[in-house]
Structure 1
Amino acid sequence: MSQLASVLDAADGDADNAQPGTNGAEPGVTTAYEDHVARLKAEAEAQDAQNRLRVAQEQLAEYAVQKEADANDLLQEADKLKEALRQLLEQPGSTAGELQQVAQLYNALREKVVDAVTEARAFAAQQQSDLATLKRSSAQADLHTDVEMKRARDEPGSSGDAEEAEEEEEDEEAVEPERGNIGSQPAGQPSTSTSFAERARYIPLRLTHDERKLLRLLESALNVSEYTDKVDILSWRSKNQRIHAQIKDLCAILSGLMVAADYKKGQELIRDRNFADNAEFFQDIFELGRRYKILNPDKMRSEYGKLMYMLMDSSEPAIQELLEFRCVRTLRTVYVFLEERGGLAMLDDALMHTATAEIISGDRPRHEIQRDIKLKERARETLSRRYRSNRLSEEDILTCIYSLSDNNSYLLFNRDPIDRFILYFHRYFKADTHEPGYSLAIQGGRDGARLTHNHERQYHYVLQSLSLWREISTEMFKLWYLAETDMLREGNNYRLCDTGQGLNRVQSAPSVGRAMQQILGRVQQRIGSWVGSSVVHLGDHNVPNALMFIDKYTQVPRILNPVVAVLEELPKLYRDPNLRAYIDGTFGGVEQCRKSILVDFCRHAFDGSGADNFFDAGSCIDGRLTSAWNWCSKLEKKSYYYVFKLAGWSGFDGEVKS
């Protein structure tokens, strides 16, 4: 689909070429320009409506299938009731009249249930048919190509755009080769199901000392840059010119900072004031910023967005022509680094598990921890000696090992909290029964809930949501790699539109979408059933682009880490006599306090709330996270709020650099 902002730029170019007149253009030209913008804006809004309709139709079809399954379950319960009544009436003392009366009542009930089943089955079949028709119609209409072709007809010199779009679409399918998945074992134990060779494809290489100096320059330049403020706006000026000017300004800032940091190198960089001659320097500094962010998700929280949006714009052929060089280079991963130097054999060595394992102290004796540390160091030394060569030094090998260890550290602090929460969930809740007062059941319209689930259904809904979050956290490096691939792919245009939360770049993310469907399929297959919608919002007003997708799911550990920390801190608080009196008087003990926190979280962090309509929240994949955010925003109103404060909780957002 054509981007509204890009089209505005094209129209701006036409308006700039008009003859002088009233306000710089003749009245006829101004009217044509306004009509052109209005038509293209209407086309963009039509595409939005088409996407919303498709997702809503998918959700309705899934709802229909679920209602059919519920009706079938009801029919089976009716048959069980018949058998129970038959056994009851066959006991001594039952008369023939009573038997006939019960049989009549049952037959009438069963007829109504059969009608409900038939109606639900027909409704589900109709919705599936409507969904298939809608998808087929969308594919035939191909609104995206249609808008691009209309733009091509309106813009002079664009006769070859249709052929180029087809070539780009073919390239998009071939960009990402088949690769394995990152392992899903505990952080302290590297995956046994996925080899290090497969994991290393998506793990960035750790920054060297010299690269960290350049990183500080990049962070400083991005910190003072107003790139998105000046580019992501609706303006009559040419967007390409704005992008070109802002990128050159950023490069100039980097060059100036380089002079301040290293005068000799800085002088070489700005000698001829030609940025194209220093393309390799800018590619390297932008790439190392991307690597650092993936390895450290809590860093560069505002700078990374500017960097990615700038690189996204620089990928456009028109911008590259103006800059005379490419700003984007392939992400430097452990696999690529070892492949270039002939060291891939190291990834298959059995010692890699020991050399990269996380050492968790817990309650273990000190001598055991020291023993594990020595084993880990010995394994690293052995690997560095065994695989060193003329092309691969011992220092390079250690850098690769440290990079793989960084991935395990990420899993320890981002995936393991989900594992610990699941353990608490299994400890205090069962699917088929619950303690009085600790039911997970929720009712739509009550306490802000938008879903209606009984205890068993909510139990499975929460468990499958946590399991999905765990799998996403396990494969976050892979998803991040694919997200950058989608954002920086040439020809993957975006459009600037108001998503309800300001102007955002709406861009498709096919690679991330396919990976999410694979993850979702694995979770569904392992669980065996699925409660709620399985729609993944991506490239629409809920999740505009792959960057927003990554940002959403890096919030999961920020939500669950504090909750798990409070649950684990409660026994320590209980040792204090004054706090013991407070906990006993308010909750009745540590266990009751834990259950109060867990039951409220499992109810209202997964109740479909957080938005004003079912399309934006509800039970879809992203809506589950929206509900969790909504629960976080209301923590101050909970009865256990002071327990969180006593346990050291300060917020869910983490540290933000001002």
Structure 2
Amino acid sequence: MSNTGDTPSQNGVFSLQNILSRDHDEHLAHPDIRPDIPAEGWDEEVVEHGAVNGFCIECEDQPAEVRCETCEDDYCEVCFAAQHRKGSRKRHATKALDGQQKKAKLSQPGGSQPVTKGGEVEMEDGEVDDEGEESTSKIVPVSDLALSSQPELGTDPGEWFIERTKYIPLRLTLTERKMLRLLDAALQVSEYTDKIDTLGFGLSKAKRVVHQIRELCAILSGLMLAADYKQGQELFSDRDFQGNAEFYQRIFELGRRHKIMNPDKMRTTYGKLIYLLQDSQAPEVMDMLGFSCVSPIKTVHALLEAHDALDMLRDPLITTATQEIVANKRSRREIQRDIKAKERAIEALSSRYASVDLPQESVRQALYSIGDNHAFLRTNRDPCEQMIRYLKEYFHATQVKDKKGLDSLAIRSGKGGARLSHDHARQYAYVLQSLTLWREILHDMFHLWSLAEQDLLSDKVQYRLRDTGQGLNRVQPAPKTSRMMHAILNRAQKSVGSWVGSSVIHMGDHNVPNAFMFIDKYTQIYRILLPICNALSQLPTLYATPALRAFIDAEFGSLDGLRLEILGDFFRHAFDGSGADNFYDAGSCIDGRLTSAWNWCAGLEKKRYFHVFLLSGFVGFDGEW
């Protein structure tokens, strides 16, 4: 190529001819490029933008609370606990952002932990924890986390009910229950996920989604016409889905609300419903439909706030009006007295806070919904509390015995299916912290469920259909649910004072693909623990029968021997890291602990005490009690 005219160095013009010229200027640059701005794009390295001043440097979305003097970085409480929990970082000097100087805790998980008097765990020098880090000699308290499903009678509830009711759904009315049956019937016959979650070819996914949603709405309209002819006629008056958007939003919302309060219900249909609503949030689907299928969950707090009746939740009578009355071997006179007191409190509050827009029946509905929350906690969370008591009883009963005997909780990788190696005291601490974490999760389950639905139904976070090894699943990040789980984990770590094993929380990967799978996983905890607690509580009744007493004495030595064998086997092998073929999927991570428990349940019929479970009324971990 010949170069005519001025050279690039002479005119400095940014052109193709100048760039390809032999004597081009090496410093020639595009006129729009600014050297003070780093390059970004698909072929450039990702530019790290610093956190906004005053926010955590790790998550970048929470206010900073702690400054590490060694790292010279600001963290929120959750991220600091995760980053500085082990190794040399746990000795870093820290300073609260309010100016108070403090030292990082040294009471972190270590190696073997013989338990001393007072429930404290003492680690020996030079022992190594699960991550291969050497632990220092330190006495670590293993304490309980005091949780209460409801304030005690006679106490000032304060703001407890105000915060709790933000996530308590309203109980369904009689009319809503009729509509719920229509929704459940329509979802039973729907093949939504079979036709949408497939890799086959055909119409575009958005068109398939719109077709299936309209088909389901048409089925609902037909069922509504058959159940209530007048209201059904209104739906068919203009044959317009967009005109009936309010009806569809209402019926989909009450299905979600019912599922939150009753995890045992809609076990096959809730997944279809939430995936349908997830797809309906896509912009292209919403444009084709012409309306949104999603509406906020109706909660107790939202109802009272809309009618300026939140002061009812601060009323001293609220504790009596929402208490759950349980027999607990009390006399009929005591039970009837509590029932009368509860009824009087409900009537007093309903008449005191009712208004023109808020009838007494709606106030009663709010009070009964709070009572449903207490019943949920007793059924789902209290078995964790009971198993913690059994664990402590077992540990103290076996503390004086030879730790190498049958009563030892020690496990070794490769023996009995175990994939972890813990000695007696370390396994005790591992089980204790796992049960404590489960108890905390179930205590805040309504809050977690609310965040999970926000993640699932977000129009900004899309999912990817992937084969996770268990079929095609929707893999979607769940930032809000994950954030809450890390906060719960941090609280549990503080409560027990030490942590054994991994603290990895799987979310949005092949183990827990999305927030729906996370919720479904942790609502099964009581299905594991409740049958075990029921079987153990029935043992004294069985032992009172002469024939069964002879069987138990001959087979297990005594009633205590039977209890110790059941508890010991559960505490060893329901928390041994089994249930998967690699440490990332099971092991000692947060979700792997629950996987190990399910693996133990699957092998219960092979245990020699399985017949005792059957005699106590056991029908399976998925049965009705």
Correspondent of 1:565 among 509, 512, 534: 534
Matched, 1:208 2:177: no
Q: What's the CA shift for 1:526?
A: 1.3
Correspondent of 1:184 among 136, 140, 147: 147
Correspondent of 1:273 among 239, 252, 271: 239
Alpha-carbon distance change, 123 to 632 in structure 1, aligned in 2, over 3 angstroms: closer
Per the alignment, residue 128 of structure 1 pairs with none
Correspondent of 1:368 among 321, 334, 337: 334
Per the alignment, residue 639 of structure 1 pairs with 608
Alpha-carbon distance change, 565 to 342 in structure 1, aligned in 2, over 3 angstroms: same
Q: Is the 8 A contact 1:187 1:358 kept in 2?
A: no
Per the alignment, residue 514 of structure 1 pairs with 483
Alpha-carbon distance change, 66 to 210 in structure 1, aligned in 2, over 3 angstroms: same
1:78-93 aligned at under 5 Å gives the runs none
Q: What's the CA shift for 1:272?
A: 2.1
Matched, 1:441 2:410: yes
Correspondent of 1:501 among 467, 470, 474: 470
Alpha-carbon distance change, 404 to 549 in structure 1, aligned in 2, over 3 angstroms: same
Q: What's the CA shift for 1:347?
A: 0.9
Return the letter of the residue paired with 2:505: V
Matched, 1:196 2:161: yes
Alpha-carbon distance change, 63 to 543 in structure 1, aligned in 2, over 3 angstroms: farther
Alpha-carbon distance change, 631 to 59 in structure 1, aligned in 2, over 3 angstroms: farther
Q: Is the 8 A contact 1:187 1:409 kept in 2?
A: no
**2 CA distance for matches of 1:465 and 1:586?**
31
Per the alignment, residue 564 of structure 2 pairs with 595
**2 CA distance for matches of 1:517 and 1:451?**
24
Matched, 1:534 2:499: no
Identity of matched residues, %? 56
Per the alignment, residue 349 of structure 1 pairs with 315
**2 CA distance for matches of 1:565 and 1:72?**
33
**2 CA distance for matches of 1:607 and 1:419?**
20
Q: What's the CA shift for 1:430?
A: 3.5
**2 CA distance for matches of 1:114 and 1:630?**
34
Equivalent position SS for 1:410: helix
Over residues 143-177 of structure 1, what are the superposed CA-to-partner deviations in whole Å (9 max), with x where a residue is unaligned?
A: xxxxxxxxxxxxxxxxxxxxxxxxxxxxxxxxxxx
Alpha-carbon distance change, 115 to 389 in structure 1, aligned in 2, over 3 angstroms: closer
Equivalent position SS for 1:201: helix
Per the alignment, residue 428 of structure 2 pairs with 459
**2 CA distance for matches of 1:71 and 1:204?**
39
Q: What's the CA shift for 1:386?
A: 1.1
Could you tell me which runs of 5 or more consecutive residues in structure 2 were left unpaired when the two chains were aligned: 1-80, 92-105, 115-124, 137-145
Q: Is the 8 A contact 1:610 1:626 kept in 2?
A: yes
Correspondent of 1:228 among 175, 188, 193: 193
Return the letter of the residue paired with 2:171: R
Equivalent position SS for 2:275: helix
**2 CA distance for matches of 1:504 and 1:469?**
25
More divergent stretch after superposition (440-449 vs 410-419)? 410-419
Return the letter of the residue paired with 1:557: Y
1:83-122 aligned at under 5 Å gives the runs none
Q: Is the 8 A contact 2:167 2:446 kept in 1?
A: yes
Equivalent position SS for 1:216: helix
**1 CA distance for matches of 2:226 and 2:428?**
59
Q: What's the CA shift for 1:71?
A: 13
Under a length normalisation based on structure 2, what TM-score does the superposition of the two structures give? 0.76
Alpha-carbon distance change, 571 to 320 in structure 1, aligned in 2, over 3 angstroms: same
**2 CA distance for matches of 1:591 and 1:482?**
44
Equivalent position SS for 2:166: coil
Per the alignment, residue 259 of structure 1 pairs with 225
Alpha-carbon distance change, 434 to 440 in structure 1, aligned in 2, over 3 angstroms: farther
Runs ≥4 in structure 1, deviation > 2 angstroms? 58-77, 113-117, 119-124, 186-194, 430-437
1:270-419 aligned at under 5 Å gives the runs 270-419=236-385
Per the alignment, residue 624 of structure 1 pairs with 593
Q: Is the 8 A contact 1:539 1:545 kept in 2?
A: yes
Over residues 353-407 of structure 1, what are the superposed CA-to-partner deviations in whole Å (9 max), with x where a residue is unaligned?
A: 1111111111212111111111111111111111111121111110000011110
**2 CA distance for matches of 1:653 and 1:293?**
17
More divergent stretch after superposition (308-317 vs 344-353)? 344-353
Q: Is the 8 A contact 2:531 2:621 kept in 1?
A: yes
Over residues 251-281 of structure 1, what are the superposed CA-to-partner deviations in whole Å (9 max), with x where a residue is unaligned?
A: 0100110111111211210122210000000
Per the alignment, residue 11 of structure 2 pairs with none
Return the letter of the residue paired with 1:184: L
Over residues 470-498 of structure 1, what are the superposed CA-to-partner deviations in whole Å (9 max), with x where a residue is unaligned?
A: 01111111111111111111111000001
Q: Is the 8 A contact 2:407 2:564 kept in 1?
A: yes
**1 CA distance for matches of 2:225 and 2:560?**
61
Alpha-carbon distance change, 397 to 116 in structure 1, aligned in 2, over 3 angstroms: closer
**2 CA distance for matches of 1:606 and 1:582?**
29
**2 CA distance for matches of 1:122 and 1:423?**
31
Q: Is the 8 A contact 2:171 2:369 kept in 1?
A: yes
Over residues 316-375 of structure 1, what are the superposed CA-to-partner deviations in whole Å (9 max), with x where a residue is unaligned?
A: 111000100000001111111111111111111111111111111112121111111111
**2 CA distance for matches of 1:255 and 1:541?**
38
Per the alignment, residue 585 of structure 1 pairs with 554
Residue correspondences, number: 506
Alpha-carbon distance change, 75 to 365 in structure 1, aligned in 2, over 3 angstroms: closer
Under a length normalisation based on structure 1, what TM-score does the superposition of the two structures give? 0.73
Alpha-carbon distance change, 517 to 67 in structure 1, aligned in 2, over 3 angstroms: closer
More divergent stretch after superposition (189-198 vs 396-405)? 189-198
Equivalent position SS for 2:475: strand
Q: Which is bigger in relative contact order (C-alpha 8 A, separation at least 6)? A: 1
Could you tell me which runs of 5 or more consecutive residues in structure 1 were left unpaired when the two chains were aligned: 1-57, 78-112, 125-182
**2 CA distance for matches of 1:226 and 1:568?**
43
Alpha-carbon distance change, 60 to 623 in structure 1, aligned in 2, over 3 angstroms: farther
Q: Is the 8 A contact 2:586 2:592 kept in 1?
A: yes
Per the alignment, residue 218 of structure 1 pairs with 183
1:243-258 aligned at under 5 Å gives the runs 243-258=209-224
**1 CA distance for matches of 2:86 and 2:408?**
24
**2 CA distance for matches of 1:621 and 1:187?**
27
**2 CA distance for matches of 1:394 and 1:72?**
54
**2 CA distance for matches of 1:320 and 1:472?**
34
Q: What's the CA shift for 1:653?
A: 1.4
Q: Is the 8 A contact 1:62 1:533 kept in 2?
A: no
Q: What's the CA shift for 1:606?
A: 0.2
Q: What's the CA shift for 1:76?
A: 13
Over residues 60-82 of structure 1, what are the superposed CA-to-partner deviations in whole Å (9 max), with x where a residue is unaligned?
A: 998978999999989999xxxxx
**2 CA distance for matches of 1:399 and 1:61?**
47
Per the alignment, residue 576 of structure 2 pairs with 607
Equivalent position SS for 2:464: strand
**1 CA distance for matches of 2:161 and 2:268?**
32
Q: Is the 8 A contact 1:315 1:490 kept in 2?
A: yes
Alpha-carbon distance change, 65 to 647 in structure 1, aligned in 2, over 3 angstroms: farther
Q: What's the CA shift for 1:123?
A: 13
Alpha-carbon distance change, 121 to 522 in structure 1, aligned in 2, over 3 angstroms: closer
Q: Is the 8 A contact 1:269 1:278 kept in 2?
A: yes
